[in-house]
Amino acid sequence: MNRSPLPKSLLLLMAAGAMLAACATAPVAAGTKTTSRTAATRTTTGTAPNTVTGTATGSVPGSGGFSHEVPIALGPGRVISTTDPLRIMLIGDSVMYVAAPAIASELDSTGVVRVYPRALPGWGLTTAGNWRTELPLLISQLHPDLVIGMWSWDDNEALEHPRAYRAMLGQAIDLMITPGDGVAGVMFMQFPPLGPLPPYMKDAKARDAHRDAGVAAWNAIAKSMASIHPGRVMYFPVAGAVELDGKFTPWLPPMNEVQSPRSQWVRVRMVDNVHLCPAGASRYAAALTADLTALYRLPPPSPGWQAGPWTLDHRYSNPPGSCPDDHPPA
């Protein structure tokens, strides 16, 4: 993708995503104040109910899948505001690294959230030998309320040695929620499905199956952490934001209307069939924002954030042509 203005088809899909998000209505839990917005400041209660029995965030694709989990509460009396924003640190590999500009743009635009992207290509517990010292150091520097993570470089370990990897991930969680470090909890985002490898690659189908199994294994172990650490860990199954009929797709139509002309469909995944293009990143961000809004009563994001300067970030054109303005074949 070049750095010229966004194509009309991409703006159509992003606008459609904004309409879906605007239609979502977060539930009001008993004893929880609704969001208050004044000319001077935006404020919202930072406490969460003990259980979530239902949510309307599902009107945003990929959102609303955490309803049976114990929410992460920010602490008694905590009020999120422009002067005391919800602080979020993002960790993960290149997929989170590519999604981060959209997540930061949307959440920061609410005026009451501050996002600190710290994802790195190739990052994982099995690849970053310094995570036991680096994670506490980052937390001491950034003071996040929440740590949100998503990565895939541990897939083989999760698939082949699930018990050992579950223990390793548990150790990382314990580090991040060490008493006194200020972290209320850890949230995992579902890693999106991967597309097929080029057919000319040796054993492409077998390797595709192995990669798919690895992603499923990591997602399953990450999800299991929510029941092991109720109220301190949550799992958001947001992959539906970029899926078509529950499967990988390079393109999506506006408003998920599959009857739309193919000329209106836009690319949501890079040509590598792994990473997200701006339209896909914005949908992932919208799902996460809808879930966080249901939990913490966030004000709505600023209109037009989907087409902001973040869409021209270099990572969406690295290498050049990663996100072409193309459409599915007729």
pLDDT tens digit sequence for 186-237: 999 999 999 999 989 999 999 999 999 999 999 999 999 999 999 999 999 9
pLDDT tens digit sequence for 259-306: 999 999 999 999 999 999 999 999 999 999 999 999 999 999 999 999
pLDDT tens digit sequence for 301-321: 999 999 999 999 999 999 999
Predicted confidence (pLDDT) at residue 97 exceeds the cutoff of 80: yes
pLDDT tens digit sequence for 237-263: 999 999 999 999 999 999 889 999 999
The percentage of the chain sitting over the pLDDT mark of 70, rounded to a whole number, equals: 82
What is the phi/psi pair of residue 187, to 5°?
-120, 135
Quick check: 290 and 61 in contact, CB under 8 A?
A: no
Q: In the chain, where do the E strands start and end?
A: 36-37, 42-45, 79-81, 86-92, 113-117, 146-150, 185-189, 233-236, 243-244, 247-248, 251-252, 266-267
Domain residue spans of the chain: 8-30+41-301
The percentage of the chain sitting over the pLDDT mark of 90, rounded to a whole number, equals: 79
Predicted confidence (pLDDT) at residue 1 exceeds the cutoff of 70: no
Higher pLDDT, residue 159 or 56: 159
pLDDT at residue 192, rounded to an integer: 98
Cα separation, 197 vs 56, in Å, equals: 36
- CATH domain 8-30+41-301 topology: Rossmann fold (3.40.50)
Cα separation, 89 vs 148, in Å, equals: 6
pLDDT at residue 223, rounded to an integer: 98
For the question of whether the overall pTM of this predicted structure is more than 0.75, the answer is yes
Instruction: Match 């597309």 to its residue by tokens.
Output: 195
pLDDT, mean of residues 154-170: 98
Predicted confidence (pLDDT) at residue 45 exceeds the cutoff of 90: no
Mean pLDDT of the chain: 86
Quick check: 157 and 131 in contact, CB under 8 A?
A: no
